[in-house]
Amino acid sequence: MKVAKKVTTNVQKDRWIVSLSNGETIFEDQLKDALSAWRRLGIYVKEKKLAITNIRLQIGGRHVELPSHQEGYIMKGKVQSTGSWSRVSVCIGYAQGGRAMIHEVSSDGASHTVYCEDPGEPATIYRHDIGD
Amino acid sequence: MATTIDWFGGDAANEIVPAESGVNDTLGFFGANFGFSIRVGEWNNTSFVTNDIGTTNNGQVPNLRFANTSGAFVASELTATELLEIDNSEATLRIRLATDSSVGTQNSAFRAFDRVNINNNPSGVTINAAEIIKPDPVRGSGDVIWTTIAGTGALSFDDQVAASSVHVWYVGVTASPQSIGEKTDLGFYFETEFL
């Protein structure tokens, strides 16, 4: 599964950056008509029996960093719209024991945190370095 | 990820364009034609893209008028049609999400609110909505019955799990005033998650 191991022209300024248990660093990239970078990362982690050890989000000049070595890490997009007004947010979080903490961060600076059930795969990428 | 969302009438003829353009910005419901009122307890005969106080005609969208819990009068038809038999192009709204990458969607919902807070109910009007899924002549697979929506009651859409760079939702919307007078404390809100 193709993932971006360095910054290329497909890697934007607003992006997530992930550290893996094998020492690799993966960047969010955008490949036209391919699966989203997070879905590709989920497949890659499962195939290689790895774990995400650290993740951070860069968006709108801000940085969000999550606690390291969690059971699972969560990423998804969210759109809110009234037709005349729209907002696109990135939801980044982590899961432990079936529960999740998710930060919703938009490029216009708005953010808030929700505590909820672990949304599960594919939004959550679990660790695969200790057996399935 | 570059992500855009747009709202059109179900037939894609007229768009509710973003507010920053300074023109069309909401969906309005009327009686016999634009600017005509709907009698108390009755339902819309026409639907338009209009400004937030309903004074500008920015183009008509397909009209669905509530007939019964599982049916609607499509356009000017006098015989009710089952919601499952309504074509996508006959829906009031078409909401489209476009992304660079191929994504699936989940937790998609649509609600009506007072244009102040998405958790507030619209004022003085009953809004029913239904998801329309009938892209071809076969019987549809959308909602069987109308759902009354408000700030505190949303219509949930089916997840669209197949990865694609374009996702579209068709929505039937019908409105009935609860009292005499213009009802301008009414807006619509859509949200979805994608990955």
Average of pLDDT values for B15-24? 75
Spatial strand order of the sheet with B71-74 comes to B64-68, B71-74, B81-82
- Per-residue pLDDT at A118: 96
Domain ranges of chain B: 3-194
Average of pLDDT values for B99-110? 94
- Per-residue pLDDT at B17: 85
The residue segments making up the domain with residue A24 are 15-126
Residue A95 is assigned to a structural domain of this protein? yes
Average of pLDDT values for A58-64? 88
Residue A102 is assigned to a structural domain of this protein? yes
Residue A7 is assigned to a structural domain of this protein? no
SS3 B37: coil
Given a cut of 70, whether residue B23 has pLDDT beyond it is no
Task: Provide the pLDDT confidence category of residue B21 given band limits of 50, 70 and 90.
Answer: low
- Per-residue pLDDT at B57: 94
Q: Kindly state whether A9 is in contact with chain B, defined as any CB-CB distance less than 8 angstroms.
A: no
Instruction: Please answer yes or no on whether B191 and A37 come within 8 Å at the CB atom.
Output: no
What's the rounded Cα separation, in Å, for the pair B153 and B136?
Answer: 30
Q: Kindly state whether A116 is in contact with chain B, defined as any CB-CB distance less than 8 angstroms.
A: no
Average of pLDDT values for B92-107? 95
Given a cut of 70, whether residue B114 has pLDDT beyond it is yes
Local structure of residue A36 (DSSP, 8 states): P
Residue A31 is assigned to a structural domain of this protein? yes
Residue A8 is assigned to a structural domain of this protein? no
Asked if the interface predicted TM-score (ipTM) of this complex is over 0.95, the answer is no
pLDDT tens sequence across B125-143:
999 999 999 998 888 899 9
Residue A81 is assigned to a structural domain of this protein? yes
- Specify the number of domains making up chain A: 1
Of B184, B195, B190, B58, which is closest to residue B125 (Cα–Cα)?
Answer: B184
Which residues from B are below 8 Å from A31, CB to CB?
Answer: 100-101
Q: Look up the pTM and report it.
A: 0.92
